[in-house]
């Protein structure tokens, strides 16, 4: 198990007010699951997704295993859950195979609710202790941010599951992108030079955001807002999906193999007319002013190449956010693919023990996304936040922003 | 739609007493689903299986489509269900892809219950008509036998689903094979000659059981009861799974590829000791006196070859059943693989229209099973009944009986 | 190793004249390989095919292993060849994996030629012995028929390999079907009754053709010649490949998955005009009078269903051939799919030892073909001959003949 | 087609002495193919490999298409070759599918030899022109470096092909790693600061090496020679292949799926004793002093993690090479995996036209390797050279060098 210093969580634990935050985060998970029936919570619509019930249980398992597990006198809710709800921690032991998460009809959604209550009760006792060790408080902190990540996945996974149902059920009444982008993107200029990137030692950050380090950035400019559906429809109208010259080789092979001709969840009306899009409130017309989302990295790159531009690096993105502030970046509606591979920062070391598996072992074959999305819980993301997915992934709320050399 | 004569259902419709039988069959389906939670009813544990909820809905769809569909004034419960719950009838139109049946979280199990009630109400009105046309009564008859087939699948499918859960949940309190076989098998001798096989024109039979026709049978003898677990454990102890000489070539390749070393649902204790078996009442020790089940045709053939015997043909089986009676055959506890490929009888013709797809188009790549199993609804099977599955299938209640030439 | 009686080769070995026949058969193999370059002989164009070089070596291996292997003083050409050129005899030991046959660039085609000469020399000595044991003579006989089977495969395999080359190389100057069918098919009537089927104990026959046995045939009629390309083009013009109602379920799934819309080797001209076909003499127009070939069992069945007819059983075929003579059946240009699954005859038993693997273990998942084709060596086939392939196979010279009930 | 400036080949074409260099490079290809039979040159042992014959033809196609194609009066050797021997240039048109390269038995190896002579003759005329345009000379230069890349692949591909043959044929008499490493690695220290990386505008370099640009390097040290077999055997002895904590997640999944327990081409003696390795001169004992090779990026990373070290970035590698000189780096025996993903340098732009597909479109999903190997033609590599392969690739001559933070 990691110590506070390896997790770089050096702030004072006493003043954190962890219990109210714990309760708020846990309640948000349940609020997101509330519109879902037991059947909805059961299914895993593809191996990358997980059932909503599993998200609810796994986030609970995290607290039980890493926080309560070492507490004397704690009675696990069910010893089998250690196996059932471990996600990928090799150090914790064997676990249920990921692609078979949707096969677990027992425990039921209702039992998972009782599991959550059991752990919440034990956590409430723990979090009211005056002498809560800093290391434990750090793990609670990590567990809350971890649960917020699963809150995002719970929404994107259920969107995927619902999209497979010909009835096109609505998860809620309102679309996910309530506020559309206004006007055209402008450009922010970044002068060349050495910049610092990554999270400082103050406050919470994931280990992959650290250490803060120097990076040389070449002069360039970066758009003030993400690409819209209107922009992207121009790419589609220009035969973008059928012109190999804009595509990375792997991307072109994927387009051919999968038959992609639009973002995920877009379907053409049967009369060959306008594009429809499946949203959390059901199917409807594409809104041109929305930021385009559910793009793979391949599509984002091809779009940028067609415009004669490119994706920003994650460092350029972070510098621009530092100059403008995330809000003025128009960020937060969709995650933005960068041109940076997901790799360790100079000086990065994984923490010893199971928590060290949190991020480092995934630093291969994935690309960094920056910003945040409609699915991201409020307050979860930040300017140094590094999200990451394989380049072909499309079921997250993923769009892009343009950059160009000067 | 087929006419009575093509379905060969020529008996008098007035005397059938269809309504009580309809109610009894429909109730049996609900009784089999009753121990299942909404989550249990949701999942499809492999492409060959279907969710319990789907079985409940599809059997209802059959009555709605083929019986009520032509009735003036009938209001479908939900027009989308025609697409969702069609199994394989090309003539009825497009349908939800089979491997994605487990992705339909909506309609819920509860809604499917209301769908069943809606159709049952309309059927009750129909079945009380004095002037019920014979053709329609024939289709009701077919629908009831169809629903009984799905009752069997509902049990074998949920057994498979539960077997994947590390918690090994029990569907019920009692094992599926309550009465074990007594004593060793004896032999019945069949003299060579011409025999008649297949169903006569009286009473209900599926089209694949007809026409009744002549068949030359060579003298042989056939065991009076199926092979037991004790027998099969001897084959395993004799390295049966590691000796190619007993296996069909496709079977040997399957054994190697799948790593089979015992029937499906058998697992060895972690200390390398005795074999455990998963049953509807959970996991427990193998009962040597039980007929062995969950064998593929390949395993059944290899076992017989190792004994220096063979599987009976479906005709030999039927002749022996005619001589002894099914009960004295020890039949009915497990389906018995025969050495006969599932092919049309001489003179067989598929009915025109959608109902013609019921059996004929599956006469390729499958082997015939005879008898019946613990999962078969009472009164459903008969001596001429032809069950059929691909030779590698193991999730049905499938065993074998030996035969030999004289 | 099998004894003569189990192989049922009871005729007098002294009078067989084996040496000239041995030389003629061996020479035919080399004649078929002669137009092929070392590169041509190297490749395996799909797992079902084998390189021409491999056919030349494996047939030699058969004599070396089963005939010369037991001879005192015989020196194997290269001990490694026992592993390299075993096809599927588990009892002989481990062997090179079938799909990797095309990876063996060494030994070269030239070395395989020397291997053949080495074995031929030893065989010549053996076959001039006065005291050649009958059992050994039987195995030589079997080896010659075995080599003839590979002669056929050598041609069909190289046709497949050449078809993949955009240069469409010609193997020879003349097409494989030199003499087209004349006129329309007539019908032969078979009265119902008990017939004998299978090979008698006189003369050579494969074990799968025995024992001769009684079979009840129902009255039917059978066409006097195979279906022509002209006939089949009518099926295609009638949208036969797009109408599910004519297809077996497995066949329809294959058509969808593979995108079949014509027999193998047929391609449409780029201007969407007439169909071209690839033959051993290169690409050219379809000849309507040719028997249609390179059909799967699924296509043959669908064609017959569309005509309102069916395929004959293998017994019907054999009875008709007995009545008319094979020549008057118009047989011999293409193999003809029957509706019979490839299963053991009543009383069939595999021979003990490796030779017992010759046929019996393949009696699963395959359909019987009768007749013979342009690729079959002269004198190899006979009225009782049972060829067999999986129902989806198309690279053999496979067509069909119609039958119908009376 | 690209102009000289976009290819950044700005040096004076007149003084290049292209013809002798052209002849030398072309002769080297033929020398490498000389030990191979027509059969050896035919096969493609996995989709990533190409037949030797194809390498010989494709490198010739490059000159024919990009250099001679625009020359008035040039007669192509065979117009079909444009389709057959295009590798991946979408802009040049359709092409033979990569995984089917081994299916082309025609043209023969001998015909490919005549193709090479035909193009060489036309090239000799061209390269003796006084007025050879600089753009054309640039393309010849590119073609020569391109051919050298295929010379390396020709050797690694044939090594793979031969390794699949149970006869373990030798390509040549001597092993590929003639000179083993002496002594243990020392460390070179790199002070932090801004460094320039990438090729200058002088002399030939691939487009992916440019533009030269500033990069901030953090203080670290880097080993003076690659890891040896002796080193790597210690990792294996320490159960390195069975301890998840050292592996990237994708790497661990690959190890499990593929059953890796040693570098590619290593096999354990049947008596469970020492490791054998397959080399160009056949199979023999592992030489502990050799640099370890045929590792995936995953294995290289796991080894470094087990040592408590890491792989160098490509920039660190380049800076160290600049400080020490490549020779003093012990480089050149095996390619060395870096921790850098293969991505464009700041300011990189692909050239317009087909040549622009040379490198840029592959900048996804691959890792950079630096140095060079025994298979690399003399003079081909340089300190700025960026080789790249997917992280699971093992059939190249790939090893590693350690680095660590200071």
Touch of D by A (3+ CB pairs closer than 8 Å): yes
pLDDT at residue B258 tops 90: yes
CA distance B273 to B271: 5
Residue D171 lies in a domain: no
Query: Rounded CA gap, C373 and C178, in Å?
Result: 12
Final residue belonging to a domain, choices A129, A163, A197: A163
Question: Does C15 have pLDDT greater than 60?
Answer: no
Write down how long chain A is: 406
Number of domains comprising chain A: 2
Q: Do A151 and A292 have their domain in common? A: no
Q: CB D247 to CB A88 under 8 A?
A: no
CB of A345 within 8 Å of a chain D CB? The answer is no
Mark whether D227 and D327 lie in a shared domain: yes
Q: Average the pLDDT over D129-140 and give the result.
A: 93
- D45: which chain C residues are within 8 Å (Cβ-Cβ)? 103
Nearest Cα of chain D lies from the Cα of A11 at a distance, in angstroms, of 26
The answer on pLDDT for D11 being more than 70 is no
| Mean pLDDT value of segment A129-135 | 91
B341–C346 CB contact, under 8 Å: no
**Residue D357 pLDDT:** 82
What pLDDT, in 10s, does the model give residues B99-147? 999 999 999 999 999 999 999 999 999 999 989 999 999 999 999 999 9
C76-113: per-residue pLDDT in tens? 999 999 999 999 888 888 889 999 999 999 999 999 99
Span C218-267, pLDDT tens digits: 999 999 999 999 999 999 999 999 999 999 999 999 999 999 999 999 99
d(CA D406, CA D403) in angstroms, rounded, equals 10
Measure CB to CB from residue A84 to each of B102, B106, B166 and give the nearest one: B166
Half-sphere exposure of C275 (CA within 13 A, CB side): 20
pTM for the full predicted model: 0.95
Q: Tell me, yes or no, if D346 comes closer than 8 A to chain A by beta carbon.
A: yes
Does any domain span residue C309? Answer: yes
Contact D165/C83, CB-based, under 8 Å? no
Q: Which pLDDT band holds residue D361 (cuts at 50, 70, 90)?
A: very high
Which of B192, B248, B341 has its CB closest to that of C341?
Answer: B341
Confirm if D42 and C43 have CB atoms less than 8 A apart. Answer: yes
Q: CA B276 to CA B163: how far, in whole Å? A: 12
Cβ contacts of D218 on chain A, cutoff 8 Å: 213-214, 346-347
- Inform me whether the C-beta atom of residue D53 falls under 8 Å from chain A C-beta atoms: no
Secondary element (H or E) of residue B356:
none
Mean predicted confidence (pLDDT) in B29-54: 98
Whether residue D271 lies inside any domain: the answer is yes
pLDDT in tens, A228-266: 999 999 999 999 999 999 999 999 999 999 999 999 999
In order of B322, C22, D343, the CA distances from A221 in angstroms are 88, 82, 19
∠ CA A388-A391-A397 to the nearest 5 degrees? 60
Nearest-CB residue to B363 (from C216, C248, C356): C248
Looking at the fold, whether B209 and B288 belong to one and the same domain comes out as yes
> CA-based Rg of chain D, rounded to a whole angstrom?
22
Task: Return the C-alpha torsion angle C160, C166, C172, C175, nearest 10.
Answer: 70
Taking residues D338-359, report their average pLDDT. Answer: 90
The residue with tokens 């079907």 is C177
pLDDT band at residue C351 under the 50/70/90 scheme: confident
B52 contacts on A by Cβ (under 8 Å): none
Detail the DSSP E strand segments found in D191-290. 193-197, 213-217, 220-223, 266-268, 275-279, 282-285
Q: How far is D390 from chain A (nearest CA, A)?
A: 9
Per-residue pLDDT, C3:
32
B window 108-137, beta carbon within 8 A of A: 108-109
D254: which 2 tokens? 């690959």
A236 and A313 part of one domain: yes
Name chain B contacts of A109, Cβ cutoff 8 Å.
Answer: 39
Q: What is the mean pLDDT of residues B276-290?
A: 96
Least confident of A181-185, A287-291, B295-299, D33-37: A181-185
Q: How confident is the model at residue C324 (pLDDT cuts 50, 70, 90)?
A: confident
Answer whether B103 touches A (CB < 8 Å).
yes
Tokens read off for A231: 């922009």
Chain A residues lying within 8 Å of D363, measured CB to CB? 248
Domain that holds residue A268: 187-405
Query: What is the per-residue pLDDT across B333-365, written as a single tens digit (0 to 9) for each?
Result: 999 999 999 999 999 988 887 888 888 899 999
Chain C partners within 8 Å of D40 (Cβ): 105-106
Report chain C's mean pLDDT, rounded to a whole number: 93
The reported pLDDT for the residue numbered D225 is 94
The chain C residue lying nearest D102, using CA atoms, is: C43
Whether A99 and A159 share a structural domain: yes
Same-domain pairing of A118 and A208? no
Is residue C130 scored above 50 in pLDDT?
A: yes
* A194, A323: one domain: yes
Per-residue pLDDT, C14: 46
Residue of B103, B104, B171 best to disrupt the A interface, most CBs of A under 10 A: B103
CB C112 within 8 A of CB C56: yes
Domain ends where: A163, A178, A210? A163
Asked if C241 and C93 sit in the same domain, the reply is no
Instruction: Please determine, for residue A405, whether its predicted confidence score (pLDDT) is greater than 70.
Output: yes
Residue A183: pLDDT band (50, 70, 90) is: low
Residue C34 domain flag? yes
- Answer whether A165 sits within 8 Å of B102, measured CB to CB: no
C75 and C129, same domain (yes or no): yes
Q: Do C343 and B347 touch (CB under 8 A)?
A: no
Report how far apart, in Å, the C-alpha atoms of D291 and of each of D232, D233, D387 are. 9, 11, 18
DSSP codes, B252-287: HHHHHHHT--SSTTEEE-TTS-SEEEEETTEEEE--
Question: Which residues in chain D (300-339) have CB-CB distances under 8 A to chain A?
Answer: 301, 339
CA-based nearest residue to B84, from A40, A158, A166, A163: A166
**Nearest C-alpha in C relative to D85:** C166
Sheet order of strands, C275-279 included = C266-268, C275-279, C282-285
ipTM: 0.94
**A174 in a structural domain:** no
Kindly state whether residues B323 and B361 are assigned to the same domain.
yes
The beta strands (E) that lie in A209-364 are given as 213-217, 220-223, 266-268, 275-279, 282-285, 335-341
D176–chain A nearest CA distance, Å? 31
Q: Are residue A227 and residue A359 in the same domain, yes or no? A: yes
Contact A251, A391 (CB under 8 A): yes
Q: Average pLDDT for residues A47-55, to the nearest whole number?
A: 97
Distance from C-alpha of A209 to C-alpha of B296, rounded to nearest angstrom: 54
Going D323 to D325 to D331 to D337, the CA torsion angle's sign is: positive
Residue A6 lies in a domain: no
Distance from CA of B397 to the nearest CA of A (A): 21
Cα(A103)–Cα(D263) distance, integer angstroms: 37
Q: How far apart are CA B150 and CA B116, in angstroms?
A: 15
Cβ–Cβ of C38/D40 closer than 8 Å? no
* Amino acid D114: pLDDT: 98
Question: Quick one: pLDDT band at residue D329, thresholds 50, 70, 90?
Answer: confident
* Residue % of chain C over a pLDDT of 90: 83
Beta-carbon separation of A42 and B45 below 8 A: no
Q: pLDDT class for B92, splitting at 50, 70, 90?
A: confident
Tokens 């050994």, residue? C136
Measure the CA angle with vertex C399, ends C247 and C279; round to 5°.
120
With contacts defined as CB-CB under 8 Å, which chain A residues touch B103? 43, 45, 161, 164-165
Confidence of residue B185 (pLDDT cuts 50, 70, 90): confident
C225 shares its domain with C372: yes
A190-213: per-residue pLDDT in tens? 999 999 999 999 999 999 999 999
Kindly list the residues from chain A whose CB atom is less than 8 angstroms away from the CB atom of residue B167: 80, 84, 106-107
Residue A333 maps to which CATH number? 3.90.1580.10
Domain assignment present for residue C76? The answer is yes
For residue D53, CA distances in Å to A107, B71, D378 come to 60, 71, 22
The 10 Å CB-count burial string (b at 16+, else e) for A28-64 is ebeebbeebbbbbbbbbbeebbbbbbbbbbbbbbbbb
Within a domain: residue C169?
Answer: no
What does the pLDDT average to over D392-403? 98
- Contact C334/C176 with Cβ under 8 angstroms? no
Task: Dump pLDDT digits (tens) for A4-20.
Answer: 333 444 444 444 789 99
């Amino acid at each position: 198990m990691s110590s506070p210093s390896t997790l770089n969580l050096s702030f004072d634990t006493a003043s954190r007010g962890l219990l109210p935050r714990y309760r708020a985060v846990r309640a948000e998970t349940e609020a997101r699951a509330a519109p879902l029936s037991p059947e909805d919570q059961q299914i895993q619509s593809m191996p990358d997704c997980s059932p909503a019930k599993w998200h609810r249980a796994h986030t609970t398992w995290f607290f039980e295993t890493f926080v309560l597990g070492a507490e004397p006198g704690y009675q696990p809710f069910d010893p089998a859950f250690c196996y059932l709800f471990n996600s990928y921690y090799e150090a914790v032991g064997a676990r249920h195979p990921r692609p078979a998460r949707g096969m677990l009809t027992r425990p039921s959604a209702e039992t998972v609710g009782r599991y959550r209550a059991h752990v919440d009760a034990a956590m409430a006792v723990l979090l009211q202790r005056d002498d809560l060790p800093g290391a434990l408080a750090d793990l609670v902190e990590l567990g809350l941010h971890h649960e917020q990540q699963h809150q995002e996945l719970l929404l994107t996974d259920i969107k995927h599951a619902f999209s497979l149902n010909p009835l096109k059920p609505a998860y809620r009444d309102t679309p996910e992108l309530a506020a559309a982008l206004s006007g055209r993107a402008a450009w922010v200029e970044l002068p060349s030079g050495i910049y610092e990137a990554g999270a400082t030692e103050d406050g919470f950050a994931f280990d992959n955001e650290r250490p803060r380090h120097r990076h040389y950035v070449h002069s360039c400019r970066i758009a003030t807002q993400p690409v819209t559906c209107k922009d992207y429809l121009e790419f589609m109208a220009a035969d973008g999906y059928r012109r190999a010259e804009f595509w990375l080789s792997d991307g072109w092979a994927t387009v051919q193999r999968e038959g992609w001709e639009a973002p995920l969840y877009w379907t053409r009306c049967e009369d060959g007319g306008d594009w429809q899009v499946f949203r959390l409130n059901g199917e409807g017309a594409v809104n041109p002013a929305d930021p385009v989302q559910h793009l793979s990295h391949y599509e984002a790159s091809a779009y940028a190449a067609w415009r004669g531009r490119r994706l920003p690096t994650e460092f350029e993105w972070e510098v621009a956010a530092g100059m403008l502030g995330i809000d003025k970046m128009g960020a937060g509606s969709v995650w933005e693919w960068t041109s940076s591979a997901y790799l360790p920062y100079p000086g990065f070391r994984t923490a010893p023990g199971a928590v060290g598996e949190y991020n480092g072992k995934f630093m291969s074959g994935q690309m960094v996304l920056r910003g945040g999305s409609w699915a991201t819980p409020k307050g979860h993301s930040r300017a140094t936040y590094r999200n990451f997915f394989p380049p072909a992934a499309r079921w997250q709320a993923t769009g892009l922003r343009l950059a160009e050399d000067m």
